[in-house]
Copies of this chain bind each other. A is one copy, B any other.
Amino acid sequence: MAKKKAKKPTPAQQARKAKLTAKDKKTLNSLIGMADGVVRQASRGRAPYFEVPSRSLSNVKYSPTKKIIEMGSSKNKRELFNLSQARTYMQTLLVGRGCKELIEQGKTTSIRGLYYLLKHTIDGTREETFNDQGDCDPVIEDVEVTLNALREELHVYASNRGAMVGNIQLIDSGDEIDCSRMGSGGYAIPSIVEEEVMQFVKCDADFILHVEKDTVWRRFNEDKFWKEHNCILTHGNGQPPRGVRRLLSRMHNELGLPIYCLLDNDPWGYYIYSVIKQGSINLAYESRRMAIPGAKFIGLRSRDYELCELNPSVTIKLSDNDIKRANQIAKYPWFEKKKRWQKEIKKMLSNGFKLEVEALISKDISYVTQEYVPERLAEANFLD
């Protein structure tokens, strides 16, 4: 059944064959520039170093004008001739080499794949290039910030999670995908959704409803909510992965679609909203590509317990950790000055319990799709 063994092209052949996009060429040039810098320093007899933007909390700030979390301008030197930095210095170059190889061959891999691609025992020593994945991941992030390139532009992808259905047609890797004809499963959102891979063909939808969990998404899909309300329906299986965030951001900015987030009434739901809207502290350097300051929070809200007349038995007591996280989130600069958010968080704390979206099923199986969301959409009743 298997055809005769495919003749393996050499990496050089693959590189010639791989069509480099304009963005690939730009990323490749940055990578080569990084290596050229080393050569230049060495040939001048100087100790080689890079400047790596600092990813520490102190170098992350919220921009009230742009309404996203951004990195500051502080940089750290990473030197070869510094005993405490020599190892990460070499790892940084290794990751650069790995990404160059991926781009040249027109291939992508996971962070796990990149780790294995680069992991080896250094000749003549018993030293490993990386001890484990945790040793490699921060270096990948360093290369991203140093080159000001998204991980996806370096041809490294995160996990695939999340799905989409609705009134949109797009092209993914040359295939035309009609998200209004995706059955019950939906279109699995890939982790790389840059314009080189994905182009929007046609979109009739009026807005995007993003829900937290696949199980809730399924309720909306089964009830054909997206048909009745002419929208796009997405989920990110909890905290949405980079591909889902980037796709939401592209659809919001390029197609002008409002985004409404239906998340749990708990600190985790607040946090997911915060990341979608302002970006995350850890990936602050990607906010400009991923954060969606215009995103709105449609619920659940703490007052819904009374408003929807829910039974006390569907509430879940806040844990000590929930209370701690809620207080932290209330102090985030982007929530701090928003009276309605302060009220929301305070109300949850005084309730003493959290609520999952699924709890609405206790009203009726389709309460969430037929009453809860339609009513809030009709009243434009959101938290911002």
List A residues at the B interface (Cβ < 8 Å): 1-6, 8, 11, 101-102, 105, 107-110, 112-113, 115-117, 119-121, 128-129, 157, 159-160, 163, 171-177, 181-192, 197-198, 206-207, 214-215, 218-219, 222-223, 228-230, 258, 311-314, 356, 358-362, 364-366, 370-371, 374-375, 377-378
Residues of B within 8 A of A128 (CB): 313
Cα distance A112–B218 in the bound complex, in angstroms:
13
Could you name 7 residue pairs across A and B whose Cβ atoms are closer than 8 Å? A8-B370, A117-B361, A119-B313, A120-B313, A172-B183, A172-B184, A187-B187
Residues of B within 8 A of A173 (CB): 183-184
Residues of B within 8 A of A119 (CB): 311, 313-314, 362
A359 nearest CB across to chain B (Å): 5
Known: A107-B222, A228-B6. A116 touches B362 (CB 8 A): yes
Known: A112-B356, A228-B6. A190 touches B183 (CB 8 A): yes
A268 nearest CB across to chain B (Å): 15
Residues of B within 8 A of A258 (CB): 1
Residues of B within 8 A of A371 (CB): 5, 8
- Best-surrounded residue of A230, A312, A362 (most CB of chain B within 10 A): A362
Contact B108 A218, beta carbon cutoff 8 Å: yes
Residues of B within 8 A of A362 (CB): 116-117, 119-120
A356 nearest CB across to chain B (Å): 7
Known: A5-B378, A107-B366, A311-B121. A361 touches B181 (CB 8 A): no
Cα distance A31–B98 in the bound complex, in angstroms:
59
Residue of B nearest to A365 (CB): B107
Contact A177 B182, beta carbon cutoff 8 Å: yes
Residues of B within 8 A of A183 (CB): 171-175, 177, 187, 190, 198
Contact B190 A188, beta carbon cutoff 8 Å: no
Cα distance A165–B182 in the bound complex, in angstroms:
13
Indicate which residue in B102, B172, B206, B313 contacts A121 across the interface (CB closer than 8 Å). Answer: B313
A167 nearest CB across to chain B (Å): 13
A175 nearest CB across to chain B (Å): 4
Contact A101 B215, beta carbon cutoff 8 Å: no
Residues of B within 8 A of A187 (CB): 182-183, 185, 187-188
Contact B181 A219, beta carbon cutoff 8 Å: no
Contact B2 A374, beta carbon cutoff 8 Å: yes
Residue of B nearest to A105 (CB): B365
Cα distance A184–B196 in the bound complex, in angstroms:
12
A334 nearest CB across to chain B (Å): 26
Contact B188 A163, beta carbon cutoff 8 Å: yes
Cα distance A313–B128 in the bound complex, in angstroms:
7
Contact B365 A222, beta carbon cutoff 8 Å: no
